[in-house]
């Protein structure tokens, strides 16, 4: 019995290992230059390239929210965002929230309300929660907003609104009631 061999594929080596690209970003207020392969995610660039390990790799497919960061002030899932496309952008991670040794009000509220247990999802929860409050201040309605014709304000952030707006962030420890309370507290004070 004769075995057939498959013909060799003539794939150029640069197609298998593309050359790194140099991108300049501002991360937590600091200008940074990172060399990234074109298919490197922002999550990988932050964790492996810049050693910012506060942003967590949970599901690695945009389902859990543990990798949430702010990109030019808007929340994004860094595991679904290509780093090479972020040249010139401003990125904020959990490490960039505290100022002058003082916790961000949402970080303090999470501690006060015991909004975490294992802590794995906490950085993504906090980054999303900050965006929730900012989106409410900007007047953005959600799927839970009863009257989208009426201007929305942060004062309209009911527990139903907060839960809807945070629905992309999962907590394996089920600390949801405490997370919602922490966000409500921060929305009232900020």
Stretches where the chain sits below pLDDT 50 are: none
Look at residue 5 in the predicted model and tell me its pLDDT: 67
Look at residue 17 in the predicted model and tell me its pLDDT: 76
> Which pair of tokens denotes residue 134?
């900012």
Same domain, 121 and 82: no
Same domain, 92 and 111: no
Distance in angstroms (rounded) separating the CA atoms of residues 64 and 120: 11
Dihedral pair phi/psi, residue 108, rounded to 5°: -65, -40
- Position 61 in a domain: yes
Backbone Cα Rg of the chain: 20
> Which pair of tokens denotes residue 82?
């290509």
Look at residue 7 in the predicted model and tell me its pLDDT: 65
Same domain, 92 and 61: yes
Same domain, 91 and 109: no
Look at residue 18 in the predicted model and tell me its pLDDT: 83
Q: Which domain holds residue 63?
A: 18-96
State the CATH number of the domain containing residue 122: 1.10.150.120
- Position 13 in a domain: no
For the segment 48-99, what is each residue's pLDDT rounded down to a tens digit? Answer: 999 999 999 999 999 999 999 999 999 999 999 999 999 999 999 999 999 9
Secondary structure of residue 153 in the 3-state scheme = coil
Look at residue 15 in the predicted model and tell me its pLDDT: 61
């Amino acid at each position: 019995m004769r075995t057939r061999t498959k013909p060799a594929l003539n794939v150029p080596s640069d197609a298998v290992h593309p050359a790194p690209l140099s991108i300049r970003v501002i991360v937590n207020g600091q200008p940074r230059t990172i060399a990234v392969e074109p298919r490197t995610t922002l999550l990988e660039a932050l964790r492996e390239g810049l050693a910012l390990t506060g942003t967590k790799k949970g599901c690695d497919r945009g389902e859990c929210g543990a990798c949430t960061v702010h990109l030019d002030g808007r929340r994004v899932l860094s595991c679904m965002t290509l780093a090479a496309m972020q040249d010139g952008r401003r990125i904020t991670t959990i490490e960039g929230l505290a100022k002058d040794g003082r916790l961000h009000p949402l970080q303090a509220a999470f501690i006060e309300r015991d909004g975490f247990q294992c802590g794995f999802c906490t950085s993504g929860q906090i980054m999303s929660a900050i965006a929730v409050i900012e989106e409410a201040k900007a007047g953005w309605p959600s799927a839970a907003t009863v009257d989208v014709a009426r201007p929305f304000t942060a004062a309209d952030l009911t527990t139903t609104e907060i839960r809807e707006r945070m629905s992309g962030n999962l907590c394996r420890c089920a600390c949801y009631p405490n997370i919602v309370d922490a966000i409500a507290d921060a929305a009232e004070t900020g």
